[in-house]
Amino acid sequence: MDRFDIGLLMFVAALALIALRMTVAGAMLLVGGLGYAAINGWLPLLSTLKTITYSKFANNGLSVLPLFLLMGEFASRGGMNARLFRTARAWLGHWRGGLAVATIGGCAAFGAICGSSLATAATMSQVALPEMRKSGYSPALATGTLAAGGTLGILIPPSVILVVYAVYTEQSVGALFVAAVIPGLIAVVQYMIVVNLFTRLVPGSAGSLARASWRERLVATQEVWPILTVFGLIVAGIYLGWFSPTEGAAVGAFVTMLFAIVQGGMRFKGFVECLLAAGQTTAMMFLIMLAAELFSAALASSRMPAELAGHVAALNADPLVVMFFIVVVYFILGCFMESLSMVLLTLPVFIPLLLTLDFGLSHDAKLVWFGILVLMSVEVGMVSPPFGLNLFLINSLAKDVPMRETYIGVLGFCLMDFIRVALLILFPIVCLWLPGLR
């Protein structure tokens, strides 16, 4: 069995173990480790394991996640989330799926300051999930909306992936950010449409209330100034360069903590409960990310992406067919890999392949277009059932929602993702128009 086959087998084995109720992290660690050893030998595996855990866990770059989680815990403990949604309900509650639409909007706004899909999903979940549930939204719709909405964190610029891509391909980061804007906005609109269709097709999936009076609306709106202040502070602070997303998360957590103590009556016991809840999800996510890193290291040494690219190049197929093929590879890799490592692994093999293809676009236009396609495809991998990091995160935050419900809820959003990717493949102008490339 050569290393290419080992790479393929890894996907099958991880899938099987997860289906047989092994923890996602455990399955990927086990299979990733065995795959790594089968390809490189036991000694290299054991040596790699010496440092990889520390490198992944002791990582201030990832500390944005626990801090945003903590902010969310404090916000719900302090009743800020409840107030925010009372307001949203007063304004949008009589619309079918109004809260879910508002959640998508919130995700987009958050995505404009944060470059991480997981952090967006985590933060927005803590704000929106309990309130959607309380308002009678079906678990499927609520968790599906959040899993998909989370991807807006990376689809709406800024986005770490695009920066890395720009360096790889010697393209302007600015041009890529601009190119991502229209597809990102399309995603927002598409997601809102999905919410609307879902509520129409599945009766009773979203609660709808009587229209609130203007007086009720104003009263509710008065209550939300704390959370709006915090949100405004973070958005403004990150835009003005006062702080990074991590620092914004810490400041946000700190300020919501003060609000929770002063306004929400949080006491020491509640404080510790917030910390415990944020810590638990943190451990879960970091362990999955460690597993994803080991898995992708094994995959890198299997040279599978390179061989696949070689096979495809040998086919001499129509460029569009090749492009669809590349996108599908991203969908599959997205099952087990974190988006950034996926991009780092695949660009060295796909970019040379891409450059041999003729789409009637200039060199720069082709690379910018492909960058946006990579961005979209990578994110689809994170929300498409059965495996996707966003799904796992949301599902662990929504303790009472079975995974099946989340799968059902996210399907419509995934369908829209596929449509958008196909649209972008067939009509590159969608992303190239704004940066003025052709």
Partner 1 sequence: QQPIILKVHSFSSPQAPEAVYQMLPWIEKVNKESNGRLKVEFYPSMQLGGKTSDLIQQLEDGVVDIVMMNPGVAPNRFPVLQGTELPFTNVGTSAGQTPAMLEWVNKWLLKNEFKGIKIIHMHATDAAVLHTRTKKIETAADLKGLKIRVPGRFVGEAMKSLGATPVGLPLSDIYESLQRGQIDGMTINWAIMTPYKLQEVTKFNMETPFYQNAIMSLMSQASYDKLPADLKKVIDDNIGIAYSTEVAKKIDELTVPAKKTIADSGNTLYSLSPEELAKWRAAMAPVYKLWIAEMDKKGLPGQAMFDDLLATTAKYGRK
Partner 2 sequence: MRSSPIPPGRRTMEAACRAVALVGCVALVAVMLVVVASVLGSNLFRHPILGDTEIVDSLTGVVVFCFLPWCHLHGGNVIVDFFAKPLPRVVRDWLDVVMNLAFAVVAGVIAWRLMAGGLSAFTREQASMFLEIPEWWVYAVGSLTSVLWIVVILYVAYESVLRARGRLSAPADEVQFG
Enumerate binding residues for partner 1 (CB under 8 A).
40, 43-44, 47-48, 50-52, 55, 61, 115, 158, 160, 163-164, 166-170, 172-174, 238, 240-244, 293-294, 296-297, 300-301, 303, 344-345, 348
Q: Give me 341's structure tokens.
A: 């490592």
Is residue 404 involved in binding partner 2 (CB under 8 A)?
Answer: yes
Q: Give me 285's structure tokens.
A: 């996510």
Q: Which of residues 364-403 bind partner 2 (CB under 8 A)?
A: 386-387, 392, 395-396, 399-400, 402-403
| Closest distance of CB 13 from partner 2, Å | 12
| Closest distance of CB 363 from partner 1, Å | 14
- How many residues of this chain bind Na ion (CB under 5 A)? 10
Question: DSSP readout, 381-435?
Answer: HHHSSS--HHHHHHHHHSTTS-HHHHHHHHHHHHHHHHHHHHHHHH-THHHHTTT
- Distance separating alpha carbons of residues 165 and 378, to the nearest angstrom: 12
> What string marks each residue from 99 to 138 as x (binds Na ion by CB under 5 A) or -?
------------x---x-----------------------
Is residue 426 involved in binding partner 2 (CB under 8 A)?
Answer: no
Considering beta carbons, is residue 77 or 89 the nearer one to partner 2?
77
Q: Which helix (H) or strand (E) holds 303?
A: none
Mapped onto helix, strand or coil, the DSSP state of residue 266 is: coil
Give 307's DSSP letter: H
Considering beta carbons, is residue 375 or 394 the nearer one to partner 2?
394
> What string marks each residue from 365 to 404 as x (binds Na ion by CB under 5 A) or -?
----------------x--x--xx----------------
In sequence order, what are the residues at sequence separation of 6 or more whose Cβ sits closer than 8 angstroms to the Cβ of residue 169? 347, 351, 367, 370, 371
Q: Which does 43 bind (CB under 5 to 8 A by kind): partner 1, Na ion, partner 2, none?
A: partner 1
> What string marks each residue from 3 to 42 as x (binds partner 2 by CB under 8 A) or -?
--------------xxxxxxxxxx--xx--x---------
Is residue 59 involved in binding partner 2 (CB under 8 A)?
Answer: yes
Is residue 148 involved in binding Na ion (CB under 5 A)?
Answer: no
Q: Which helix (H) or strand (E) holds 244?
A: none
Give 361's DSSP letter: -
Q: With contact defined as beta carbons under 8 Å apart, do 146 and 101 qualify? A: no
Considering beta carbons, is residue 17 or 357 the nearer one to partner 2?
17
| Closest distance of CB 50 from partner 2, Å | 4
Q: Which does 160 bind (CB under 5 to 8 A by kind): Na ion, partner 2, partner 1, none?
A: partner 1
- Distance separating alpha carbons of residues 243 and 165, to the nearest angstrom: 24
Considering beta carbons, is residue 238 or 250 the nearer one to Na ion?
238
Q: Give me 436's structure tokens.
A: 């003025």
Alpha helices in 93-212 (DSSP H): 98-111, 117-134, 139-155, 160-169, 173-201
Q: Which does 303 bind (CB under 5 to 8 A by kind): partner 1, partner 2, Na ion, none?
A: partner 1
Q: Which does 18 bind (CB under 5 to 8 A by kind): partner 2, Na ion, partner 1, none?
A: partner 2
Q: Which does 334 bind (CB under 5 to 8 A by kind): partner 1, partner 2, Na ion, none?
A: Na ion
Q: Which does 346 bind (CB under 5 to 8 A by kind): partner 1, partner 2, Na ion, none?
A: none
Q: Which does 62 bind (CB under 5 to 8 A by kind): partner 1, Na ion, partner 2, none?
A: partner 2
Half-sphere exposure of residue 36: CA atoms within 13 angstroms, side-chain side: 23
Mapped onto helix, strand or coil, the DSSP state of residue 437 is: coil
| Closest distance of CB 144 from partner 2, Å | 15
- Distance separating alpha carbons of residues 171 and 365, to the nearest angstrom: 9
Is residue 90 involved in binding Na ion (CB under 5 A)?
Answer: no
| Closest distance of CB 414 from Na ion, Å | 9
Mapped onto helix, strand or coil, the DSSP state of residue 237 is: helix
How would you label 298-328 residue by residue, b for 16+ Cβ within 10 Å and e otherwise?
Answer: bbbbbbbbbebbeebeeeeeeeeebbbbbbe
* Cα end-to-end span (Å), the chain: 45
Which residues of this chain interact with Na ion, rule CB under 5 A? 111, 115, 156, 159, 334-335, 381, 384, 387-388
